[in-house]
Structure formats: structure tokens, C-alpha cells
Amino acid sequence: MGGATTAPMTLAQKLVARAAGRAHVEPGEIVDCEVDLAMFHDSSGPRRLAPMLKELGARVRDRSRLVLVIDHYVPEQDDDSRRIVAIAREWAREQALPHVHDREGICHVVLPQRGHIRPGMFCVGGDSHSPTAGAFGAYMFGVGATEMLGVVVTGRIWLKVPHTIRVRFDGRLADGVSAKDLMLVLLARFGMNGGRYQAVEYAGTAVESLGMDERMTLANMSAELGAQAGLIAPDAVTREALRVAGVPDDAIDTLRWRGDAGAAVLAEHVFDAAAIEPQVARPHSPANGAPVSDAKGEGIDVAYLGACTGAKLADLRAAARVLRGRHVAIGVQLMVAPASVAEQRAAEADGTLAALIDAGATLLPVGCGACAGYGGRIPEGARVVSSTARNFRGRMGAADAEVFLASPYTVAASAVHGRIADPREMLS
């Protein structure tokens, strides 16, 4: 059966094959994989894991492979959040976890920033936006707390080898159009189960020309597409970002971790990037997207720049490009919750943050903030335009809020006008 072992494989197959200790895996087969890294946060992690571990009478198998990020319930606002965060910190001490990132930013951004992610890895995260690491050529997917417990104890997890859905964006994106718009286009076209819990691989010249922050937005919102993982083959851009994060050069293999020519895919969808316009997804689904002209003029009370999807440095810079020399409309609150401390510092250093604040933005603490609805910053009944990933009813904490999803450019433009606006008219 020599032919079977040399059959071409997609990037997803290669990543899973390595983790399964196999030369070749076929989509659809169920394999048992070794987990290189397991990430969890204060909400999904210790408060759920610790009692189960105790009940099981088991021990952490390899703490060097665990990363705890405290990002959801910080800063602590009430007794409940204080209790949850205290459990996380106490358990980290008790287990002597070597990798704990407390109030450094949102897990999906902190993980690569701190050098935990490299191409070829097979990882799980206690959070649905875990596919974000796929931007670096790592296979990472979200699991619930009980399944995480299984990984923590056994170091392994089962997986149905995914098919690959390839999405190619050829050409160049227009100015004022970003990765977020690409994802809203895909969601409107294919729906929230378009990914069919398979792997989506993003390719094409428009993707290759994106920086890592934008690539992370693509991989991140693979969760909304219903994919298990979202992957981008690593290249020189990846290498440079990882080098900055402190990953040794010989640990960055950009040649091995790409799909073979001729590997079979479930589907390939090709888009002309230049033809894509800024998008807005109406309440209450990320799949309710349409070109910005469709929602233009809808009044808003809150403009929110936040989350792993929409408050990385590139996102803040995009908003600042629109806001420089302008001011937020009267009656509109522009809230900015930077995705990480490092990014907030970088935005401070290059004047991005000043541009946002001069325009009237309110700076919120670094972290998941209102995106996960745990913070309670969005007033009831508010109409919100947000750079986050999800606008399910109640998602941002307020049961009656109406949330429109858009890119950071469009959120900024809308904040200035007090209604949904096209950012392209505001970029010089």
C-alpha cells in the first residue's frame, strides 16, 4: 500500500497526521491525537477543571503543555468575578503552572504573542475562537471543559480527520476593506454551518498580502463559519511575527506545513478580493451580512472596538485612520477594549491610541470585555456597531441590545456619523 502513504495531503491532513503519529490520514477517519498545547481561561478552565480533577482523583499529565490565560472576568467587577478569578489564580499556584498570563490580554492574541504557537502544532483551547492559531499554521480547535479535562489528564483527544474547504481571495483588497469584511462575505454566502465542522484553508494573493493580525481575524471567525479549524499556510510574514514573539528560527518550518499540490478538497471557492465592499451583519446573526450600503443610515448608540476579532493593533490602527481629525457624534459612545497589553502599548507608542481618544473614545480595560457579555458594559436596548465576532441576541450581556457587526474601519466611520457609514468615503 505504498501509494496510500504518498498520496497528497492537505495542510489539515498533514497537521492531524503528525499529531496522530501517522504517515497519512484520510478525511473522515477517526484518529487519536497527541495534544501539543492546551489553553484555557478563567471561565472555561480552573473553576471547571479543578473540581472534576478532584472527583476523578487524577493528576495533570504534563503542565508544561498547559497555558492559562486570565482574560474573561478581569478586571473583577463583582463578587462572582472575584471568586472565579481567585479560583484560577489559586489553582495555577497549586499546580505550579509554568505558563500563566494574567490580565495580559485575550487568550487567542496572547498565545502567539508569547511564543506558544508555531507551525505544525496540534492544540486545543477551552474557547470557541481557538481556531485563531490556525493563522500560524497550527491546528487548534475549541473544546468544552469536560473534554479539556480529558486532555489535561490523558494528553490526547479523538478527532475525525477533517475535509478541507479551500477559500481563495485573489487580487487585492480595496482600501478600507479588511479581513472582517471577507469573513462577513463568507458567512452571508455559506451560513453559520458553511464550514461543516471541517477545516477551512484560506489562500490567494489577497490573503498572502495580509499581516498576521488580519490573518488571525480570518482564522478566528472560522468559528462563526462552523469550521473546526481555520488554516493559513505559514510564510515569511508568519516567520517574522513568530521571530518577534521569540520563537527560535529553526522551530518555524514554513516549507513542511503547506498542502500538497493535488490534495483533494471538499470544495474550493474563489473570490475577487478587489470586488469586496465593506460589510455589515445585522442583528442577531453574523450571517446577516450585506454590503455597507444596505445598512447605511441605521442609527447607533454605541460603537465598540474590542475582542480577539477586532481590537488587535491592526484593528486599532484601521479605526485611527478613520478617526484622525474627526470626532465621535454627539450621543454616541465609542468604546475601545484593546486585545492585549502589548498592543495597547504599541498603540500608545505610535499615536494610534491618542487618535482614538482625541476623537472621543473611552478606553476600557484590556480583555474580553463586553464581547463575551460577562462585563455588562452595553446598556439595555442599545443599538451597537461592533468589531467583535458575534451578535447573537444577548451575546454582549444586554438582552435587548441590537448589535451590527462590522470591520474596525466601519465601526469608526459609524461612530463619527452616529449611524452606519461607509469608511471608504473617509479615508484619504
User: Would you tell me which residues interact with other proteins (CB under 8 A)?
Assistant: 30, 43-44, 48, 52, 55-58, 73, 80-81, 84, 125-128, 130, 141-147, 149-150, 153-154, 158, 191-193, 197, 226, 228, 285, 287, 372-374, 376, 390, 392-397, 399
* Nearer CB in complex with other proteins: 227/245: 227
- For the chain, how long is the longest CA-to-CA vector? 70
**For 168, phi and psi rounded to 5 degrees?**
-115, 130
d(CA 96, CA 119): 27
Peptide bond into 41 cis (omega under 30): no
Q: What is the smallest separation between the CB atom of 253 and other proteins, expressed in angstroms? A: 28
Q: Which amino acid is at 342?
A: A
Peptide bond into 75 cis (omega under 30): yes
d(CA 383, CA 303): 9
Neighbours of 150 (CB within 10 A): 18
* Nearer CB in complex with other proteins: 110/342: 110
d(CA 102, CA 244): 21
Distance of CA 3 to the CA centre of its chain: 38
* Nearer CB in complex with other proteins: 44/414: 44
* Nearer CB in complex with other proteins: 52/357: 52
Helix (H) or strand (E) holding 40: strand 37-41
Q: What is the smallest separation between the CB atom of 366 and other proteins, expressed in angstroms? A: 19
b/e code 273-291 from CB counts within 10 Å (16+ = b): beebbbbbbbbebbbbbeb
Classified as helix, coil or strand, 301 is coil
Residue whose C-alpha cell reads 471538499 in the numeric block: 266
Residues in CB range of 351: below 8 A, 6 or more apart: 320
- Rounded (10°) CA dihedral 416, 417, 422, 425: -70
The DSSP-derived string for 98-117 is: S-EEESSB-HHHHHHHTT--
